[in-house]
Amino acid sequence: MEPLLLAGYTTVFVALFGYVAYLQRRMSRLERHVTDLRD
Amino acid sequence: MTGFTNVLSRLMRLLRWVVESRGVKWGTLVTGVVSLALVFGVASDTMYGIEHGANLLAYWHIALAWVAAVALGTTFIGSALYLRYRGRFWNRLAHSAGEVGFLFATLTLILGSMWGKVIWNSWWEWTDVRLVTFLVVWFIYAGYLVVYSATERDSDELYAAVYGVIGFVTVPISYLSTRLWTPTFHETTVGNPQVSANIDPLTLVVSLVAATFLYLYLVGLRINMHELEDKILRLHSPRRS
């Protein structure tokens, strides 16, 4: 596989999975915070 | 309640249902896999008369660029509706779409630069009108995210919304730039019979659908996060709406 092609699609995957992971980690932290505040 | 506000509240419910539906998640997965299968298994790697594997970057470069325009358009509409009706949902939608649009615009620039190295033998061309105007769009939306993050809920969110409306002016200028001015490198591909980019229509359409599903999924996640942040604020100070 061409190195540029590999680098391009790897960048897309890393950026998208990184963003989703960031959102989900932040959301679970916020959900914990909501539960703590309700208790 | 007037007829138009009725339509808006129905639209709000529809948008909420779309971004929260399981269909979006599964649609993202299925169309994403089909798109990659078509890109790597079916599409030709010869474009503009140049045979090179990295030409296959074009499919997601174009798809991400188009969906970035949709996302930034959503920021404009959300900001305008927030300015007019002050519904918290519209500002959340504007910011969520702006953040996802910025990510997609960044990836468009990176993939475009790599593809440009293959077909123009250059990573970047300051003389090209599309490249420079798209970079301006990128900076404008980086500025929008900075302005939004610096605003306080309820008090000065207005500034981010005004910025979201005015900043959108750069988007149609960039997308129409190759028709408004003479391009030096990035020519108009769609509806231009003089350019034969040899892009497989099926692969491009499937990639576009996949990028759209991905956009809806990410915007849905981001809106959920905004709602949780608001819930925490309400729990901290119950008098706030």
Which position has the higher pLDDT, B195 or B89?
A: B89
Query: A15 and B107 in contact by Cβ < 8 A?
Result: yes
Rounded mean pLDDT of B101-126? 93
pLDDT score for B192 = 65
Write out chain B residues lying below 8 Å of A30, CB-based.
Answer: 225, 228-229, 232
Structure token pair of residue B15: 């948008």
pLDDT score for B167 = 92
Rounded mean pLDDT of B18-31? 87
Written as one letter, the residue type at B241 is S
Query: B235 and A38 in contact by Cβ < 8 A?
Result: yes
| B240 pLDDT higher than 60 | no
**What pTM value is reported for the model?**
0.90
Rounded Cα distance, B100 and B91, in Å = 14
* Probe site for chain B from A12, A13, A31, A38 (most B CB atoms < 10 A): A12
| B239 pLDDT higher than 70 | no
- Among A1, A27, A31, whose Cβ lies nearest the Cβ of B53? A1
Q: What is the DSSP letter of B50?
A: E
Any idea where the domains of chain B sit in the sequence?
26-236
State the burial class of residue B227 (Cβ atoms within 10 Å of its Cβ: 0-12, 13-18, 19+): middle
Write out chain B residues lying below 8 Å of A18, CB-based.
Answer: none
| B241 pLDDT higher than 60 | no
Distance from CA of B173 to the nearest CA of A (A): 26
Rounded Cα distance, B142 and B90, in Å = 20
Rounded Cα distance, B50 and B47, in Å = 5
Rounded mean pLDDT of A13-32? 94
| B1 pLDDT higher than 60 | no
pLDDT score for B191 = 62
Rounded Cα distance, B155 and B149, in Å = 13
Determine phi and psi for B47, rounding to 5 degrees.
Answer: -135, 140
Write out chain B residues lying below 8 Å of A12, CB-based.
Answer: 60, 64, 107, 111
pLDDT tens digits, residue range B28-68? 999 999 999 999 999 888 888 888 888 999 999 999 999 99
Highest mean pLDDT of the ranges B9-23, B144-158, B202-216 = B202-216
| B219 pLDDT higher than 80 | yes
- Among B111, B228, B236, whose Cβ lies nearest the Cβ of A8? B111
Mean pLDDT score across all residues of chain B: 88
Rounded Cα distance, B105 and B66, in Å = 9
Sequence-separated contacts (24+) of B118-122 with Cβ below 8 Å: B118/A4, B118/B50, B118/B52, B118/B54, B118/B55, B119/B47, B119/B48, B119/B50, B119/B55, B120/B185, B122/B185
